[in-house]
């Protein structure tokens, strides 16, 4: 049991730690201190459900259904391009983190819907979380322990990222730092979208 748990923990950590769209979104929300803990919790819950679905059969279904993968690919590319354009526009504006904060926080519902879109409209989440992590989990001696390990990795990572970034926000609130972060987010979104379109 513990071997399966540890395998899930290590495999999930290895994939989650790579800076991707979900991590960039959590980081941005945490620096704004805009509902960052509910966003982290939503990411953990989504990861847990997707890993469990992959381990217990969805990985096989997706691997044999190119239509579903195509829909996820093109829908995800369009969403990532839209989100990248928004980040690029913020990077070109003169707003600092503090000014953005005083402009008015978005509602928790709006932020969580955006987080859900960033998570579920990104085809990489299905390739990494469902297919890769799920396929490996299906081969474990105790698949449920593997899912628990992967969920633990997600919990530690997203809450660690959210809390650390929110704590560092006062030091990172300079306009140039915030512009650089938005520029990095935009480049990342465009790069992932290009991968989806041209792969």
**Tens digit of each residue's pLDDT (9 = 90 or more) over 10-19:** 878 777 776 5
**Residue 121, pLDDT score:** 82
Q: For residue 97, name the pLDDT band (cuts at 50, 70, 90).
A: very low
Domain boundaries, the chain: 1-198
Residue-wise pLDDT for 111-148, tens only, equals 999 999 888 887 777 777 777 777 777 777 888 898 99
**Residue 60, pLDDT score:** 67
pLDDT at 2 over 80: yes
Tally of CB atoms within 10 A around 89 = 11
Judged on CB neighbours under 10 Å (0-12, 13-18, 19+), 6 is middle
Q: For residue 100, name the pLDDT band (cuts at 50, 70, 90).
A: very low
- Answer yes or no: are the C-beta atoms of 179 and 91 closer than 8 Å: yes
Q: What percent of the chain has pLDDT over 90?
A: 19
Residue-wise pLDDT for 21-73, tens only, equals 788 888 888 888 889 999 999 999 999 999 888 888 775 676 677 787 677 67
- Show the tokens assigned to 86: 């928004």
């Amino acid at each position: 049991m513990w071997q399966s748990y540890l395998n899930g923990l290590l495999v999930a950590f290895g994939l989650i730690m790579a800076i991707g769209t979900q991590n960039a979104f959590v980081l941005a929300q945490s620096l704004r201190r805009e509902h960052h803990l509910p966003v982290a919790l939503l990411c953990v819950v989504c990861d847990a459900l997707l890993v469990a679905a992959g381990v217990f059969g969805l990985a096989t279904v997706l691997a044999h259904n190119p239509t579903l993968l195509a829909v996820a690919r093109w829908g995800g590319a369009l969403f990532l391009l839209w989100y990248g354009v928004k980040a690029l526009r913020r990077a070109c504006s003169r707003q600092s983190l503090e000014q953005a904060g005083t402009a008015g926080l978005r509602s928790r519902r709006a932020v969580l819907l955006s987080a859900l879109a960033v998570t579920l409209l990104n085809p990489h989440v299905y390739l990494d979380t469902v297919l890769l992590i799920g396929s490996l989990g299906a081969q474990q001696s105790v698949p449920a322990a593997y899912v628990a390990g992967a969920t633990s990795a997600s919990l530690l990572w997203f809450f660690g990222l959210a809390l650390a970034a929110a704590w560092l926000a006062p030091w990172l609130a300079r306009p140039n730092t915030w512009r650089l972060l938005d520029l990095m987010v935009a480049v990342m979104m465009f790069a992932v979208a290009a991968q989806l379109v041209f792969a």
